[in-house]
Amino acid sequence: MEPVETLEGWYCMHLLWSIDGASWRKVTFEHQQEMVHQFQLLLDDFVQTEAKGNGSHYVFNVSGHKADLGLIILRETLAELNEIELQLTKLPLFDYLKRGTSYVSVTEVGTYTGKPKSDKGWAYVNQHLKPELPDKPYICFYPMSKLRIPGANWYTLTYDERRQFMHDHGTVGRTYAGKIWQYITGSIGLDDFEWGVTLFAETPLMFKKIIAEMRYYEASSVYGEFPYFVVGTHMDNAGLQKMFLENWEA
């Protein structure tokens, strides 16, 4: 079977942590402030690096029990992501955070519809391979894979069958232009599932709408596997202050 050619860009790491509240409450307010400040200084360093076009990041407050703090980092190489992860681990603040789910992938654009044939087309592709993540208020991330079971094996379909299924899928996605900002990252050989999907929106209802609608198309309804979802809200420095410094009295 003919595999689809993919275009790759920056490496991507999704990181989640939960606050160890029992330990954090034992820390003096002044020490809490200093630790949060150190984290914010590192985030400021990220901004300076990214201003030169060398990556992007997004900080968010996770909804639900899966985590409290979420961070997405994009860089040109996997080694840079590993270095950033080590920098975070060395910060005193992270002594009070419990490591949760992580996801490693690389930005990806498929070519079922062919490669771009114009400068405008390549500009669109490059925006997804080396993106500046939007500071939209809501985020949804989920990994996914294509099934490989009897009667529903994506990898035994012909190229033309897969191309048609993905065309139908993409047609739905394009109706949400201006409502959803979507980034696909490939993770075959890099993590437990095959792709990561990261969505940004002005309202979380858009996540429900687009995912529910896509479920009725065969690329998802027959061949898709979606193990979990993470949603949250964007956080700036004020949001970090609120998360770590308000209402933590013992």
Q: Which of the residues are catalytic? A: 142
The answer to whether 172 touches 217, Cβ cutoff 8 Å, is: yes
**Across the strands, what pairs with 62?**
232
The answer to whether 243 touches 68, Cβ cutoff 8 Å, is: yes
Between CA 209 and CA 37 the distance in angstroms is 38
E-strand stretches of the chain: 6-19, 56-62, 69-75, 97-110, 138-146, 148-149, 152-153, 180-186, 195-201, 224-225, 230-234
The answer to whether 133 touches 72, Cβ cutoff 8 Å, is: yes
The answer to whether 150 touches 203, Cβ cutoff 8 Å, is: no
